[in-house]
Structure 1
């Protein structure tokens, strides 16, 4: 009988409404497993790592979650690991784990769109499904996965695109389309990210360079620029990007648009072509949250900018 370890970290799946009507993380991992019920043919062990809304997670807590996954997989008797997590930042934490996950055994993230005390609670079914995926040898060698609303996706490229839909995520590769072959993944060193500062700055009409300059002054080692369209910005913000790069800061360009590649198609002083000419790196597929995680992990691991570009440029 396969053994699966469930790591509980809070999130909506563990939340209940307090006296004010707000949902707050309350349930333990044992509570979650009790609601999900038994999964036939699987032995499950639960460990509580964090109990928080994922929007409030710190980099130290992300490091702790990744370390807990590694510890869970230290036993050869474990078939796979499930991480219950809030949906707000699930795309970030799951990618961080994936970047250093060289073990063939599946690590499966799941969560919920409705709190545990909601009449529409979806957490129990999602957790039961994730446990079944983690125990199934058919999912070995595919990296870190998301199991949600009956669908299984890889996590690279994942983004939360709805606050209400039963399946809030898109952008990962559906496992059903992989035909048993793993997507190309580059691995990062398992180095703590808590002491690395990477800031996110958004572009918008009239944006100047104040926030980029402030990030540089705060000793940021990296900046993710959330561009408009295919990765474009204002002339003033592009000038600030040049100053940041000249100061030794790695600047990665993503976009606020949900779908489509980031591309150096436009110039004019603030287009992505101008940013690339200044030395910025395009995150062609990953959206800002995941681009920041890649930048954090690779900077923490001492990876040179050219390898950051090699990863994000795929």
Structure 2
């Protein structure tokens, strides 16, 4: 019997068409998207309509729903799963699925251009994702723009190109299964700018954040005021992870001066050497949910 691949549709640009007012919103279900495909190897495709959302609106609970759906399809006999997802949060959901289903035959894909755009890239990306599942390979991956990339370290680096994703840095993903659901976990991302004070970090603490990720400068640098706030968060038992607004390259906590990466780590923060803010937020939430924040140093390094 031909292998069965479940295709989970969640909305995004791949499912979107332009409305009369010029805006684009997800409007196509999984069956309609699969009807766009051309010739494929012998395979059975099962559309699964989970929701139809712009991925910019997804909460951690929604990402958890995607991960749960992946697990259900694999447990139900699917040989693999393709997830159709919006690109704004693709790297986050892909990492969560990778953490909760390590080694699973899952491939994410989507599109940069809507279904009715002259340069629609959804059908080609779907075909590539299905072929990637059929050809085998362990772990959660992304098929997009002619590339096949692992989930760990993914970053969307272009808004207007069909070839939109890269790896932040070459890295070997840790073999870890963090299966506790992340529903209800609050991890905030705080953007750092030159001369930043601690108002936003302190506001996140006051709002009840259980963890904080800094979208820092350069190789993971901030200011003395932010370093002092990191120390306050650490004293309060709230973990802080330092990532960077720079999309590519490995981070190193080498700068001092009162607010550099070296000082942030000394104040109690954990440096995310590879994962950028979106993925760092997901990993931190998964560690908090699993009660394994103590492993953060090893996993983020």
TM range (shorter): over 0.9
Contact 2:168–2:275 under 8 Å retained in 1: no
Q: Given that residues 153 and 173 in structure 1 are in contact (C-alpha distance below 8 angstroms), is that contact kept between their aligned partners in structure 2?
A: no
Please, which moves more after superposition, 291-300 or 205-214?
Answer: 205-214
The answer for the alignment partner of 1:192 in structure 2 is 181
CA distance in 2, matches of 1:252, 1:183: 19
Does 2:60 match 1:72?
no
Q: How many residues align?
A: 300
Structure 2 distance, partners of 1:260, 1:72, is 35
The alpha carbon displacement at 1:59 in A equals 1.7
Is the 2:169–2:249 Cα contact (8 Å) retained in structure 1? no
Q: Is 1:308 aligned with 2:293?
A: no
- Distance of aligned partners of 1:202 and 1:244 in 2 relative to their CA distance in 1, 3 Å threshold: same
Matched, 1:210 2:211: no
Asked if 1:106 is matched to 2:105, the reply is yes
Alpha-carbon offset, residue 188 of structure 1: 3.2
Q: Deviating runs (4+, > 4 A) in structure 1? A: none
Mean alpha-carbon deviation: is it higher for 14-23 or for 33-42? 33-42
> Which residues of structure 2 form unaligned runs of 5+?
none
Give the Å deviation of 1:10: 0.4
TM-score by length of 1: 0.92
Inter-partner Cα distance in structure 2 for 1:164 and 1:192: 34
Query: 1:23 offset after TM fit, Å?
Result: 0.8
Residue 172 of structure 1 deviates from its aligned partner by 6.7
Contact 1:54 1:90 (C-alpha < 8 Å) held by counterparts? yes
User: Is the Cα contact below 8 Å between 2:284 and 2:293 reproduced in 1?
Assistant: no
Structure 2: distance between partners of 1:173 and 1:220: 28
Match of residue 265 from structure 2: 276
Q: How far did residue 81 of structure 1 move?
A: 0.4
Residue of structure 1 equivalent to 2:88: 88
- 1:258-269 matches, within 5 Å, as 258-269=247-258
CA contact (8 A) 1:101 1:187 kept: no
Matched ranges for 1:114-133 at <5 A: 114-133=113-132
C-alpha separation in 2, matches of 1:118 and 1:234:
44
Contact 1:7 1:46 in 2 (8 A): yes
Q: Is the 8 A contact 2:169 2:248 kept in 1?
A: no
State which of 144, 163, 178 in structure 1 corresponds to 2:140: 144
1:189 Cα shift? 2.5
Deviation at 1:294, TM superposition (A): 0.3
Query: Is 2:53 the counterpart of 1:34?
Result: no
The root-mean-square deviation of aligned C-alpha atoms, in Å, is: 1.6
Q: Which residue of 2 aligns with 1:22?
A: 23
TM-score normalised by the chain length of structure 2: 0.96
Following TM superposition, by how much is the alpha carbon of 1:60 offset from its aligned partner in structure 2, in angstroms?
A: 1.6
Deviation at 1:105, TM superposition (A): 4.2
Instruction: Name the counterpart of 2:287.
Output: 298
| 1:45 positional shift | 0.5
CA 172–2 in structure 1, closer or farther in 2 if over 3 Å, else same: farther
Secondary structure in structure 1 of the residue aligned to 2:50: strand
Q: Distance in 1 between matches of 2:107 and 2:168?
A: 13
Structure 1, unmatched stretches of 5+, are 175-181
* Structure 1 residue 136 displacement after superposition: 1.9
